Amino acid sequence: MEINSNQLLRFTTAGSVDDGKSTLIGRLLYDSKSIFEDQMTAIENTSKKKGHEGIDLALFTDGLRDEREQGITIDVAYRYFTTPKRKFIIADTPGHIQYTRNMVTGASTANAAIILVDARHGVIEQTKRHAFIASLLHIPHVIVCINKMDLVDFSEETYNSIIKQFEEFSSKLLVQDIRFIPISALLGDNVVNRSENMSWYQGAPLLHTLETMHISSDINKVDARFPVQTVLRPQREGFIDYRGYAGRVASGVFRVGDEVAIMPSGFHSVIKSIDGPSGPLTEAFAPMSVSINLEDDIDISRGDMIVRANNQPEAAQDIEVMLCWLHNDPAKPRAKYTIKHTSNEQKAMIKEVIYKIDINTLGRKTDDFSMHMNDICKVKIRTTKPLMVDSYRENRNTGSLILIDDATNETVAAGMVI
């Protein structure tokens, strides 16, 4: 593959073993010729050992010893493949109810989510959970793959009725872009190659959809936000006065000459120069790692944020957040946690649980304020010092945070600013 202007697309796959998720990933890798001969030989041997006819595509996604033995996925696994059009990263997440936490993890960086529906069963509770998490994590594109079409005689009627079921409940969700594709992962219909069995389907196969969907707008390019990671001060000859603020542009565009404000101090300055990985730049945009030099000497350190002077985030100490609890130990009422938000770190307290989401009905529970693993709740958090936040819907990078339990150092919750 030549170096070119190809983009990177990250997607997550949600579904259980029974939905054919592993088979679908195996099919994508196999038909896009991303599988090597020694991997193929290993799979053929295992398929034979297990008594399968032909090769079991699902075995390509086998991972840890326990997963191989139990035939399940325990943790997020990442897979890679490249076509002449794009490079792809798959976050392969387990679909069982107890693994909400893994789905949230995989979804957090995804441009797209593939939700698998078994054509024989239609939209089930699990489908709703997956769609809900995709909307909660604000994944820009959702592709509903109606799988096992071969087992319903490739029926257009079945396909249409499942779309209807899906749309009935998804109208309540905030998803910008939903597409539907009828597939058979097992036989390969509409995965990489167009299905001959479903000539009634006019849309593109899955891979073509992934290769061509517009993703340049998935990152916020309007609100310029630059969390400072560290300060570069070489203090050696040629660079005596150099003071670069190193970080990754979280959103928006910064240009040399822009008037900027430093949060939380509120000081103003002007961008003198920007250094990118390969030298000076006139502008930098998300998600570039650069270092920014200002005209004035201002005290700036890790955790501060450089923003455009006329477009600032909210500096808030009381923040309303959708919180997904990720740890075995439940939340302790009014306990203190360390909060990580961009490069900033503060102490924080969960002051109030406003409601809990019933992940099965998607309704609100206001009589149960406990937070256990996989629970999703709307909460109020108070921090010791202000965080510079945007709403998660507007800005994934400056609207997301995690909570760490100081007693165990474990990451216990993921939050999205409302």
- Binder among 102, 126, 127, 158 for other proteins (CB under 8 A): 102
Would you say 395 and 250 are in contact if contact means Cβ atoms under 8 Å apart? yes
Size of the site for other proteins (CB under 8 A): 76
Comparison of 81 and 180: residue with beta carbon closer to other proteins? 81
Comparison of 187 and 373: residue with beta carbon closer to other proteins? 373
Would you say 311 and 258 are in contact if contact means Cβ atoms under 8 Å apart? no
Comparison of 18 and 66: residue with beta carbon closer to other proteins? 66
Q: Residue 397 interacts with other proteins (CB under 8 A)?
A: yes
Q: Which of residues 210-229 bind other proteins (CB under 8 A)?
A: 214, 216-217, 221, 229
Q: Residue 230 interacts with other proteins (CB under 8 A)?
A: yes
Closest CA to 79 of 7, 2, 4, 13: 13
Pairing assessment for the beta strands 225-232 and 112-118 based on DSSP bridges: unpaired
Would you say 190 and 201 are in contact if contact means Cβ atoms under 8 Å apart? yes
Q: Residue 86 interacts with other proteins (CB under 8 A)?
A: yes
Give the integer Cα–Cα distance in Å for 125 and 105: 20
Would you say 245 and 295 are in contact if contact means Cβ atoms under 8 Å apart? no
Residues 6+ apart with CB under 8 A from 5: none
Comparison of 146 and 322: residue with beta carbon closer to other proteins? 322
Shortest Å, Cβ 246 to other proteins: 6
Six-digit token string for 32: 């896009």
Q: Residue 98 interacts with other proteins (CB under 8 A)?
A: no
- Binder among 98, 277, 297, 299 for other proteins (CB under 8 A): 277
Report CA Rg, the chain: 24
Number of other CB atoms surrounding residue 20 within 10 Å: 23
Give the integer Cα–Cα distance in Å for 43 and 394: 44
Question: Which H or E run contains 350?
Answer: strand 344-357
Q: Residue 71 interacts with other proteins (CB under 8 A)?
A: no
DSSP β-bridge partners for residue 143: 114, 179
- Binder among 267, 285, 355, 369 for other proteins (CB under 8 A): 285
Q: Which of residues 165-204 bind other proteins (CB under 8 A)?
A: none
Kindly write down the DSSP assignment for every residue of 387-417, as one continuous string. EEE--TTT-TTTSEEEEE-TTT--EEEEEEE
- Binder among 32, 155, 312, 411 for other proteins (CB under 8 A): 411
φ, ψ for residue 65, nearest 5 deg:
-55, -50
Comparison of 72 and 151: residue with beta carbon closer to other proteins? 72
- Binder among 179, 340, 378, 382 for other proteins (CB under 8 A): 340
- Binder among 50, 68, 172, 393 for other proteins (CB under 8 A): 68
C-alpha triplet 361, 97, 141: angle, nearest 5° = 75
- Binder among 151, 173, 404, 418 for other proteins (CB under 8 A): 404
Q: Residue 233 interacts with other proteins (CB under 8 A)?
A: yes
Comparison of 82 and 165: residue with beta carbon closer to other proteins? 82
Q: Which of residues 128-167 bind other proteins (CB under 8 A)?
A: none
Shortest Å, Cβ 151 to other proteins: 30
Q: Residue 70 interacts with other proteins (CB under 8 A)?
A: no
Q: Which of residues 235-254 bind other proteins (CB under 8 A)?
A: 236, 238-239, 242, 244, 246-248, 253
- Binder among 167, 174, 176, 234 for other proteins (CB under 8 A): 234
- Binder among 104, 119, 207, 357 for other proteins (CB under 8 A): 104
Would you say 393 and 138 are in contact if contact means Cβ atoms under 8 Å apart? yes
- Binder among 79, 208, 378, 380 for other proteins (CB under 8 A): 79
Q: Give the HSE-up count for residue 341: Cα atoms under 13 Å, Cβ half-sphere.
A: 33
Q: How many residues does the chain have?
A: 418
